Structure 1
Amino acid sequence: MQTELNKVIAALREFYAREQFLFEKDVGERAVTHRFAVYLEKQFSGWAVDCNYDRLGERTLHLPRGSIISTDDHLGKSIYPDVVVHQREIPNNLLAIEIRNASNHTAIEHDQQKLKALTDPDVWFAYWIGVLLVLARTNIATAEVYVGGVLDRTQTVWLTERLKETSLDASH
């Protein structure tokens, strides 16, 4: 798992080195997410990296019954992860990432609940790892890792420490 998280860190380092304009102009999260995905794709050779990918094979990703209401679509049930690393046809789901600008003042709980659902092994579209990143102008304000449908505190601490070591911070 730390191998995959190190690849996320490498992508973040290149993203921050090359994309300061996005933060200076406070562009929307979709533009930030897309540009981050470009750098992430370089790290995951042999995998597809997609933004807002809502499929598992031929199926549409939906929240499980009784879970939170999604704000991603007008019916409140479809899930559109910000960035995923996967193999489309198999399907083989490695990594789901939710990205937020630090300037976004809406409740973070929606993204946290989405990552819990996306990594829940009892749900048919489970991703192995979920990562929540809150991106500030010069650093990662918050980083969380989700595994097995819950916040993985050990991996979150590990990721936070690695981000600090690489000067990307993660003031978690």
Structure 2
Amino acid sequence: MQTELNKVIAALQEFYAQEGFLLERDLGERTLTHRLAVYVERQFSGWQVDCNYDRLGERTLRLPHGSVVSTDDHLGKSVYPDIVVHQRDIPNNLLAIEVRKDSNHQPVEHDQHKLQALTDPHVWFAFATGVLVTLGRNKVSSSEVYVGGGIARPASLWFAERLRVSGLMETRDDGAQH
């Protein structure tokens, strides 16, 4: 998993180095997600990288009834992850990435529930790892890593520290990541 997370960090480094124009002008999350996916794709040779991908083979991604996250995409709040790293034809789901902007006022719980569901080993399309990143104008403001249907605290702390060491995340005065 650390190999994949290091690739996400490399993609974020390139994204922040190249996409200042978009960040300075506060463009929408879908625009930022697409551009980040371009850099993610460069890191994952041999894998396909897609945005809002809603299939697994011929089947549409749907969560079990009663799930917190809706599979109805009419409002753009679906089970479909922002960015996926996978092999479409096998199917083999490696990584799901949810992207948020700092200025997003919608509850973060929707993205958290989505990553919990997408990494739940009891669903037939589970992703090995999920990553939630909140993009600030100059740096990542927060991050979480999901494995096995929940937050992987040690991996989340490791990832945040790697982001900080890479200059992509600031440390508050109290030493906590933000």
Instruction: Tell me the matched-pair count.
Output: 172
How far did residue 111 of structure 1 move? 0.3
Could you tell me which amino acid in structure 1 is paired with residue 7 of structure 2? K
Mapped contact 1:62–1:77 kept (Cα < 8 A): no
TM-score (norm: length of structure 2): 0.92
Q: Unaligned regions of 5+ residues in structure 2, if any? A: 171-176
How far did residue 69 of structure 1 move? 3.9
Deviations, residues 123-166 of structure 1 (Å, cap 9, x unaligned): 01100000000000011011100000000000000000000000
Partner of residue 7, structure 1: 7
SS in 1 for 2:99: strand
Partner of residue 58, structure 1: 58
Q: Using a 3 Å threshold, how does the CA distance of structure 1 residues 5 and 76 change in structure 2: closer, same or farther?
A: closer
Q: Using a 3 Å threshold, how does the CA distance of structure 1 residues 122 and 106 change in structure 2: closer, same or farther?
A: same
| RMSD, aligned α-carbons | 1.6
Could you tell me which amino acid in structure 2 is paired with residue 31 of structure 1? T
Deviations, residues 73-102 of structure 1 (Å, cap 9, x unaligned): 139995211000000000000000000011
Q: Which segments of structure 1 move beyond 4 Å, counting only runs of 4 or more?
A: 75-78
Partner of residue 156, structure 2: 156
Taking the TM superposition and a 5 Å limit, the aligned residue runs for 1:74-89 are 74=74, 78-89=78-89
Q: Unaligned regions of 5+ residues in structure 1, if any? A: none
CA distance in 1, matches of 2:78, 2:7: 28
Q: Using a 3 Å threshold, how does the CA distance of structure 1 residues 60 and 136 change in structure 2: closer, same or farther?
A: same
How far did residue 70 of structure 1 move? 2.4
Partner of residue 120, structure 2: 120
CA distance in 2, matches of 1:55, 1:2: 26
2:96 maps to 1:96: yes
Could you tell me which amino acid in structure 1 is paired with residue 20 of structure 2? Q
TM-score (norm: length of structure 1): 0.95
Mapped contact 2:69–2:79 kept (Cα < 8 A): no
Mapped contact 2:117–2:149 kept (Cα < 8 A): yes
Partner of residue 147, structure 1: 147
How far did residue 23 of structure 1 move? 1.0
